[in-house]
Structure 1
Amino acid sequence: MASSWLLLLLPVLCLGTLPTTSHAARAFFVFGDSLVDNGNNNYLITAARADSPPYGIDTPDHRATGRFSNGKNVPDLISEHLGAEPVLPYLSPELDGDKMLVGANFASAGVGILNDTGIQFRLYDLGARRVLVQGVGPIGCVPAELALHSLDGSCDRELQRAAEMYNPRLMSLLGELNAGYGGDVFVGVNMQRIHNDFIDDPKAYGFETATQACCGQGRFNGMGLCTMMSSLCADRDAYVFWDAFHPTERANRLIVQQFMSGSVDYIAPMNLSTVLAVDLHKEQLRT
């Protein structure tokens, strides 16, 4: 029986089938930056780390895990929806044997996008049949940018305009790739639209603020790193942003809700719940 593999590369997610003699299983792999890093940088010599308090303050044991959040990040929450345990960092010494069958997280805070990043699309040749690609979020609205360029909490228009130019071109490219592969292989996520919902009307989503970071210092708490010396909010659920760049766990939960069940305004041509249902049906027809 074929084994279903769910491969998440933020900003890309892939779903495919690989031949195997074992029973069906689903694995989850993550690639990306600090938005999805769950501890790889703990094992690297770098200043981009989240392995000390107050990071992780709202995890069950209140321990900093290397996630740039007060709690869980997007891959953790997708694993919840899949009914699977969170994947381990690929540098973790605990990642061996059967745990590798669950998947692995290859994300690392501070990575960028290079011209050869498109090599990820070659995963199709290895069996990946679904690729979810995130667009650029509201980069002009993060507290770090507000601290530098905003007097009243308004987003930086130039950065917002850059994202608005990039995202439609990305969706067009995904459409061309789908036409070439003859199916809905590539799925695009409108991250700017998802975040803008919170930013334009935070109170409608139960937030008190979308401009002030929970942890930081300076204007909008957007200056420098989140440390034990930082100003720390008491109610993390009231904030869209945990630190100068990254969402709180509650914001991440709302983001993943759109991944799983959002309309085509947020994720197209289908959401992840539909992707999983369609592929399960195809698998059942083959057996």
Structure 2
Amino acid sequence: MKFTFAATLLALSVLGIATGGCQCKVVQFIFGDSLSDVGNNDYLSKGLAKANLPWYGIDFGNGMPNGRFCNGRTVADIIGDKMGLPRPPAFLDPSLTEDMIMQNGVNYASGGGGILNETGTYFIQRFSLYKQIELFQGTKELIREKIGDNETEKFFQQSLYVVALGSNDFINNYLMPVYSDSYTYNDDSFVTYLTETLRAQLTLLHSLGVRQLMAFGLGPMGCIPLQRVLSTSGGCQDRTNKLALSFNQATSKMLEDVSSKLPNASFRFGDAYDVVNDLISNPVKHGFNNSDSPCCSWGKIRPALTCIPLSKLCKDRSKYVFWDEYHPTESANELIANELIRKMGLSPTNLSPSAAPFAAPSPQG
């Protein structure tokens, strides 16, 4: 499912450049898909995956669409807020400047994007992870021109990052027969292909200065409303969930291996599969009353795929796990974010260059 969060978070940013170097605070750099997108796709003129119509954003700011595929905040927003971090603007935001980057970071996440370049091609335009990394490399060069080589390397090596993609590679690629990957691979070999591609991408990020990174796993994507409505029983699709679990297991092991082999790398895995699965299986336990259908829909016309002005909204958005056919509500995102914060041992940053909120927590004795 799209609980691959994204989403996507955390780098150090320059507040000011003094003679002795930079004064830094912790901000966010996000790589992700629609769970973390804050408007990049809105600026892709030919892109089909957009959240630029009501009722998206109804519970965020002024209630107008803002590029988030949700009624409110994303998981990345919530984790950042709880850690005292500024929210990074979309990379394609026309007002973005070098100073904004150094003070707020950047969000490269793109709805429909995947780890694989071929994922989501029917959306026409979207940023794959390789493209997001290319944009990040360009960002680094912009900062280099502004503050010089030494400060730039220091800035990016002190940075904290999150990578949150993967569900589209299954839902909008491998599990669709229109894609060649669906008949080129079997379940096991596709998970291997996906994980090894991600390994290469993380290694590339390391070569660009990334040292501390969180990569988030997938939730039970076979239980999103779209998967349910496309099943014969209306229940979760077991094969899809098993693929998510296989990806999580392979990615967790790969991150341990990469982190042990790359110099000064601290790459960690964020897994919320169990809590999301429990939320869907036992919604009342978590304060919800609906976990199988979208809050924003066309009533009995399913799947609606996207939320539009003609859609009907549920009476209480805080009681629904899903906002549309793909994405969780802000209420569900908050529960997911809290679980990731707990599992990762994250705490509010002290805004110090030496802060390492992604470092492994000390053993409790």
| TM-score class normalised by the smaller sequence | 0.7 to 0.9
Partner of 2:311: 230
For 2:108 and 2:264, the matched residues in 1 are separated by 27
For 2:244 and 2:61, the matched residues in 1 are separated by 36
Segment of structure 1 superposing worse, 239-248 or 9-18 = 9-18
In the TM superposition, residue 23 of structure 1 has moved relative to its aligned partner by 1.2
For 2:79 and 2:277, the matched residues in 1 are separated by 21
2:11–2:27 Cα contact (<8 Å) kept: no
1:226–1:243 Cα contact (<8 Å) kept: yes
Q: Which amino acid aligns with 2:26?
A: R
Partner of 2:207: 125
Q: How does 1:93-108 map to 2 (within 5 A)?
A: 93-101=94-102, 102-108=104-110
- Residue 212 of structure 1: SS of its match in structure 2? strand
CA change 1:72–1:155 in 2 (3 A) is same
CA change 1:13–1:90 in 2 (3 A) is closer
Q: Structure 1 vs Structure 2: percent identity of aligned residues?
A: 34
CA change 1:154–1:44 in 2 (3 A) is same
**What TM-score do the two structures reach when normalised by structure 1?**
0.82
Segment of structure 1 superposing worse, 168-177 or 235-244 = 168-177
Partner of 1:146: 228
Partner of 2:355: 280
Partner of 2:169: none
**Which deviations, in whole Å up to 9, do the C-alpha atoms of 1:209-242 show, x marking residues without a partner?**
1101101235696433211122211211001110
Q: Which amino acid aligns with 2:37?
A: D
For 2:279 and 2:95, the matched residues in 1 are separated by 37
1:198 and 2:279 are equivalent in the alignment: yes
In the TM superposition, residue 261 of structure 1 has moved relative to its aligned partner by 1.7
For 2:322 and 2:27, the matched residues in 1 are separated by 30
Partner of 2:6: 10
1:37–1:105 Cα contact (<8 Å) kept: yes
1:209–1:239 Cα contact (<8 Å) kept: yes
| Cα RMSD (Å) | 2.9
Partner of 2:83: 82
For 2:210 and 2:254, the matched residues in 1 are separated by 18
Q: How does 1:262-281 map to 2 (within 5 A)?
A: 262=343, 270-273=344-347, 280=355
Aligned residue pairs, count: 266
1:213–1:220 Cα contact (<8 Å) kept: no
CA change 1:16–1:53 in 2 (3 A) is closer
- Residue 27 of structure 1: SS of its match in structure 2? strand
Q: Which amino acid aligns with 1:197?
A: D
**Which deviations, in whole Å up to 9, do the C-alpha atoms of 1:47-81 show, x marking residues without a partner?**
21101101111123111101000011122212212
1:132–1:186 Cα contact (<8 Å) kept: yes
Segment of structure 1 superposing worse, 102-111 or 183-192 = 183-192
For 1:242 and 1:60, the matched residues in 2 are separated by 17
CA change 1:64–1:12 in 2 (3 A) is closer
CA change 1:70–1:213 in 2 (3 A) is same
Q: 2:288 aligns with which of 207, 218, 233?
A: 207
Partner of 1:23: 23
In the TM superposition, residue 281 of structure 1 has moved relative to its aligned partner by 7.4
* Greater relative contact order (CA < 8 Å, ≥ 6 in sequence): 2
- Residue 268 of structure 2: SS of its match in structure 1? strand
Segment of structure 1 superposing worse, 248-257 or 24-33 = 24-33
For 1:108 and 1:128, the matched residues in 2 are separated by 20
Partner of 1:267: none
Partner of 2:65: 64
In structure 1, runs of 5+ residues without a counterpart are 1-8, 263-269, 283-287
Q: Which amino acid aligns with 1:38?
A: V
In the TM superposition, residue 15 of structure 1 has moved relative to its aligned partner by 5.8
For 1:123 and 1:161, the matched residues in 2 are separated by 29
1:142–1:211 Cα contact (<8 Å) kept: yes
**Which deviations, in whole Å up to 9, do the C-alpha atoms of 1:7-66 show, x marking residues without a partner?**
xx9366576899981112223111111111000111112121101101111123111101
1:34–1:107 Cα contact (<8 Å) kept: yes
Q: Which amino acid aligns with 1:105?
A: N
- Residue 22 of structure 1: SS of its match in structure 2? strand
- Residue 204 of structure 1: SS of its match in structure 2? helix
1:248 and 2:329 are equivalent in the alignment: yes
**What TM-score do the two structures reach when normalised by structure 2?**
0.66
For 2:288 and 2:106, the matched residues in 1 are separated by 32
